[in-house]
Structure 1
Amino acid sequence: MDKKAKGVQMIRKARISDVKCLHRLLNAFASEGRLLPRSLNDLYTHIRDTFVWEDTQSKEILGCASLHVVWEDLAEIRSLAVKRECQGHGIGAALVRACVEEARELEIARVFVLTYEVAFFQKQGFHLVEKHIFPQKIWVDCLHCSKFPDCDETALLMDLA
């Protein structure tokens, strides 16, 4: 674990009190073009989708990820972010595992990501796919994205069935 995070770490579901911290963390990466921005409204609305990695001693949020159910057999991992000084220590992988485990508990057959971090997700067991295989995502979310129709993210999928 990162030397700067010396307390006990844990993954837990996000709380309302975490939203402003999550907003800062996610939008710092969004300002660099590494993630899509998330509004406070969106974070509050989808708080139940979100996991955080917390240093229980300092109460600092070191990372987050969300599992968003798209359809009866499909979910998306969104907004994976880990503080820079804590990257490379397994936090992101643990957050992805938490999302995948929740998808399994919900009996969701497939989990996908749209990402710029292709190698990271391949290392977690995802494989490359074409975005057009997710029409539910396109009609619900992508139409409202500032990058539509010229999305430059890569789609990857994990089959859980």
Structure 2
Amino acid sequence: MEIEFYKPTVLDIPQMQELVKPEVDKGIILLRTEDEMATTIRSYIVVKVDGKMAGFTATHIHSPRMAEVRSLIVDEKYRGLGLGKKLVDKCVEEAKFYGIKQVLSLTYEKNFFLNCGFREIPKEEIPEQKIWADCIKCKLFPICNEVAMVKDIA
């Protein structure tokens, strides 16, 4: 089995949107438009297994102090291979590279992120810019049962 991590180009966006569509339809992951993904394409990392796109995530920087693991998805047929954890690790590495002190995740998968070294925090600690830039677009806002989690990295 050949596993490859790479930075995508805008040509990968349609395939990325197709991969994440079931989770977007369920309200688990926020919809990112083609234009929004294009303007943030540098923040994404994709994983391929045997030449097929298996998952991706993005490292979104909110401030000099905090980045976020965003839009984490692994195709169901590739789950159980540790790809999700490796994608999160890639986000943490990128945040460290930029001197970020903490990585945030808003998730329904608390145990997964606990296993990645994150800890739960009160939602009141989430940066205001996150709430008004992303959360307000969610079909579940303001009644959300996602868990806010952070990992201190510096």
Same fold (TM over 0.5): yes
Q: 1:148 is matched with which residue?
A: 141
**Is 1:91 paired with 2:83?**
yes
Which residue identity does 1:154 align to in structure 2? V
**Is 1:123 paired with 2:79?**
no
Q: Is the contact made by 1:75 and 1:110 (CA closer than 8 Å) also made in structure 2?
A: yes
Q: Is the contact made by 2:6 and 2:47 (CA closer than 8 Å) also made in structure 1?
A: yes
Deviation at 1:25, TM superposition (A): 1.0
Q: 2:30 is matched with which residue?
A: 36
Which residue identity does 1:156 align to in structure 2? M
Aligned alpha-carbon RMSD (Å): 1.4
Structure 1 stretches lacking a partner, 5+ long: 1-5
* Per-residue deviation, residues 52-106 of structure 1 (Å, max 9, x unmatched): 0023x53x21110100001110011001000101001111111000000000000
Instruction: Report the Cα distance in structure 2 between the residues aligned to 1:36 and 1:145, rounded to whole angstroms.
Output: 6
Q: Give me the identity figure in percent.
A: 35
TM-score by length of 2: 0.92
SS at match of 2:26: coil
Q: Is the contact made by 2:27 and 2:140 (CA closer than 8 Å) also made in structure 1?
A: no
Which residue identity does 1:141 align to in structure 2? D
Which residue identity does 1:38 align to in structure 2? R
* Per-residue deviation, residues 29-64 of structure 1 (Å, max 9, x unmatched): 122333222222221121111000023x53x21110
Instruction: Report the Cα distance in structure 1 between the residues aligned to 2:131 and 2:120, rounded to whole angstroms.
Output: 17
Which residue identity does 1:119 align to in structure 2? N
